Amino acid sequence: MENFPGIIAFVNQKGGVGKSTGAVHAADCFARQGKKVVLVDADAQQSSFQWVAELNESYPDLKLSSQAIMNPEDLFDKLQKLAEEYDLVVVDGPAKSNEITKAILARCHLALIPCRESIVELRSSGDVLRLIRQVRELRGDLPKAAIFLTQVKNGTVLLREAREALGDDPAIPLMETIIYDRQVFKDAPGQATTVYGMAGRPAKDAAQLYDALFTEALKIFNG
């Protein structure tokens, strides 16, 4: 049987890369599949906590809760407990804080690292890769981890350069699925929804990007 990661975290100390967008879409995607999901927002800006609160107002039947937990000690203690209570815990990681990111990595089963494709940003995601390698020395092969490219403008992606800049570590692979730059992702929070709740072709196409990403992520987790 396939294993399901009970705690999935979106981490990268770089801001504005798509952690909150990825986390809320993961939470919404799996909640719509009937899983009991909690999103834990560990970022001081609290954007995903807010976003999920508004989602719940838009869709009262959704089995989706949210909590704001920013203290590293609290994260370490509570993530484990939440994983017993919920089918899935999705963690939205903070910008800047290595300490908070490390507490999340100490508990999550799968770490997904959104990264924009510019060489500068790819190199700066070396910080989170380093933390993952350190935590793995303590936890064995956990957390499983993968990098994905986000906000990619059509036709500009240079996968080979991205692989080179990231160091191409098979233990932290670069995912095949690419999340392209789409206006619907920017519009979703203002409409108290995600692309899963929006009508129209652009939203359906955007939803397929995240569906493909989560399918690939589960494959990597089980691989």
By the rule CB under 6 A, 20 interacts with ligand ADP: yes
> Residues in contact with ligand ADP, total (CB under 6 A)?
16
By the rule CB under 6 A, 151 interacts with ligand ADP: yes
Q: Which does 144 bind (CB under 5 to 8 A by kind): Mg ion, ligand ADP, none?
A: none
d(CA 212, CA 155): 19
Question: Can you point out the beta strands (E) in the chain?
Answer: 7-10, 37-41, 64-68, 88-92, 110-116, 144-150
CA dihedral of residues 205, 216, 140, 130 (deg, nearest 10) = -50
Sketch the per residue contact string, 20 through 49, with Mg ion: x for CB under 5 A, - otherwise.
Answer: x----------------------x------
Q: What is the 3-state secondary structure (H, E, C) of 9-56?
A: EECCCCCCCCHHHHHHHHHHHHHHCCCCEEEEECCCCCHHHHHHHHHH
Sketch the per residue contact string, 69 through 98, with ligand ADP: x for CB under 6 A, - otherwise.
Answer: --------------------------x---
Q: Which does 182 bind (CB under 5 to 8 A by kind): ligand ADP, Mg ion, none?
A: ligand ADP
By the rule CB under 6 A, 191 interacts with ligand ADP: no
Contact footprint for Mg ion (CB under 5 A): 19-20, 43
